[in-house]
């Protein structure tokens, strides 16, 4: 996704999350939200189980509580406009 990363701007946030089970542990690097693509439908907000996302004053998605993110990626998967990306790194990445 290195080419797509250049399309996202401005709203990267940091925090941490752990995905348990047999999967590798992941650390949240941030949420990338393309504000030009976001139409403010609120689907990502409604699907977030931890209330990490909200619509801001411009009716665009914003990660207001990134430390609560569990990296489930429901926001990313449900966004009809592909305007949000949850960026994670492997625990060994530094």
**Domains, in order of start, for the chain:** 2-90 (3.30.70.20)
> With a threshold of 0.95, does the pTM exceed it?
no
* Dist CA 39 CA 41 (whole Å): 6
Categorize the per-residue pLDDT at 80 as very low, low, confident or very high, splitting at 50, 70 and 90: very high
**Both structure tokens of 89:** 């790194």
* Dist CA 70 CA 66 (whole Å): 9
Residue 91's pLDDT is 55
Q: Positive or negative, the Cα torsion across 51, 82, 35, 26? A: positive
Strands 61-63 and 26-33: unpaired
3: pLDDT strictly greater than 70:
no
């Amino acid at each position: 996704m290195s080419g797509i990363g250049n399309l996202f701007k401005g709203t990267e946030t940091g925090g941490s999350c752990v995905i348990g089970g047999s999967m590798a542990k992941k650390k949240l690097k941030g949420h990338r939200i393309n504000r030009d693509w976001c139409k403010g439908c609120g689907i990502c907000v409604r699907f977030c189980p931890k209330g990490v996302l909200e619509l801001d004053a411009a009716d665009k998605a914003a990660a207001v509580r990134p430390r609560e993110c569990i990296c489930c990626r429901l926001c990313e998967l449900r966004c009809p406009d592909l305007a949000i990306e949850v960026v994670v790194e492997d625990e060994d990445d530094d």
